[in-house]
Amino acid sequence: MTAEIEGVTLHLAHPDELPVRWVGQEELMRQLLAAWMVVSEQDIPMSPRLIGKPGVGKTTLAYAAAKRMGRDVYIMQATLDTRPEDLLVTPVIEGAGRLRYVASPLVSAMITGGIIILDEGNRMSEKSWASLAPLLDNRRYVESIVAGVKIRAHDNFRLVTTMNDDASTFELPEYIHSRLQPQILIDFPEKDEELLILRENLPFADDKTLEYVTDFLQMAHAADERYSVRDGINLARYALKLRSLATSQEQERTAMLTALRETLGEEALRYVRRDRPVNS
């Protein structure tokens, strides 16, 4: 798929398709959809940032909200090495010394009217964010020095960035923070919602396993540990696999403890309920 901008042909990225569904915490969905709304001809959509610990479902929320709006979704992973040209247009040498201009997922979403999820945005440097500054205010365009074109966003284009609440990230400058509003905080879910999320992601798991993992996660949350529902999904999945390959009752009985040690480490055992058998 291509698009022509000011006489330059851009080769567009394909949207992402993920088998995910947002479960529970409907208020967060309402807040994100409200940020993307346009309430009058003079209004413009906002570019929110979703903040929370790794694994709490930031990307899942963004993707599910975009799909609820019926839009194509493009996901772009930000890293410490992401350059401005990576965010916009990259030249690729074709045969006979010709250049092929490849649009990033972000620019592809801008042109087609899709939604871009800029994942882990605060891992990106200020220089890279600066290239997006005019996109994040009422100008709604980016300028590719490489391709020599100015690209304006489709009216239906929306942007959201996810940001992990940890120390291994850049401190964003104020002029970028003020453009990435509102800030929507995603915390650990309540027990009943966490159980629903586990059940949604592990439809093949038995109830006892899911309830055991939910209890573990809730105890860890109460102690302000960073174990997330993603950790719980991996824990339950590995325990089920170990149990299916058990050749003795002892291996079956200790499958959950083994899974805990191997996925989250020995320190995770402190959040195991001692009044419940480990093969629950």
Alpha-carbon radius of gyration of the chain: 22
Which pair of tokens denotes residue 237? Answer: 């999945």
Residue 49 in any domain: the answer is yes
Q: Are residues 108 and 180 in the same domain?
A: yes
Q: Are residues 173 and 237 in the same domain?
A: no
List the pLDDT tens digit at each of the 280 positions of the chain: 999 999 999 999 999 999 888 887 889 999 999 999 999 999 999 999 999 988 899 999 999 999 999 999 999 999 999 999 999 999 988 777 788 999 999 999 999 999 999 999 989 989 999 999 999 999 999 999 999 999 999 999 999 999 988 755 677 889 999 999 999 999 999 999 999 999 999 999 999 999 999 999 999 999 999 899 999 999 999 999 999 999 999 999 999 999 999 999 999 999 886 655 555 4
- Indicate the residue type of 102: V
CB atoms within 10 A of CB 88: 26
Q: Are residues 251 and 159 in the same domain?
A: no
The rounded distance, in Å, linking the Cα atoms of 236 and 264 is 12
Q: Which of 154, 185, 216 is the last residue of a domain?
A: 185
b/e per residue 114-126 (b: at least 16 CB within 10 A): bbbbbbbbbbbbe
Q: Are residues 100 and 35 in the same domain?
A: yes
Residue (of 172, 62, 173) closest to 118 by Cα position:
62
Residue 253 in any domain: the answer is yes
> Terminal CA-to-CA distance of the chain, rounded, Å?
51
Q: Are residues 18 and 152 in the same domain?
A: yes
Residue 277 in any domain: the answer is no
Question: Phi-psi bin for 93: left (phi > 0), alpha (psi -120 to 50), beta?
Answer: beta
Residue 263 in any domain: the answer is yes
Q: Are residues 97 and 207 in the same domain?
A: no
For residue 182, cis peptide bond before it (omega within 30 degrees of 0): yes
Q: Are residues 164 and 26 in the same domain?
A: yes
- Indicate the residue type of 75: I
Q: Are residues 181 and 195 in the same domain?
A: no
Check: CB of residue 145 under 8 Å from CB of residue 8: no
The rounded distance, in Å, linking the Cα atoms of 158 and 37 is 10
Which pair of tokens denotes residue 276? Answer: 């419940």
Which pair of tokens denotes residue 167? Answer: 């120390």
Q: Are residues 38 and 103 in the same domain?
A: yes
Q: Which of 166, 185, 204 is the last residue of a domain?
A: 185
Total number of domains constituting the chain = 2
Check: CB of residue 32 under 8 Å from CB of residue 59: no
CATH number at residue 8: 3.40.50.300
Residue 232 in any domain: the answer is yes
Q: Are residues 181 and 213 in the same domain?
A: no
Predicted TM-score (pTM) of the model is 0.88
In the sheet where 115-119 sits, what is the strand order?
Answer: 73-77, 115-119, 158-164, 49-52, 183-185
Residue 276 in any domain: the answer is no
Q: Are residues 171 and 132 in the same domain?
A: yes
Residue 243 in any domain: the answer is yes
Cα–Cα distances in angstroms (integers) from residue 39 to residues 30, 70, 71, 167, in the given order: 15, 18, 18, 37
Which residues form the domain of 231?
Answer: 191-271
Interstrand relation of 49-52 and 183-185 (parallel, antiparallel or unpaired): parallel
Q: Are residues 146 and 48 in the same domain?
A: yes
The rounded distance, in Å, linking the Cα atoms of 88 and 151 is 9
Residue 169 in any domain: the answer is yes
* pLDDT computed for residue 167 by the predictor: 59
Q: Which of 133, 160, 185 is the last residue of a domain?
A: 185
* pLDDT computed for residue 280 by the predictor: 44
Check: CB of residue 5 under 8 Å from CB of residue 144: no
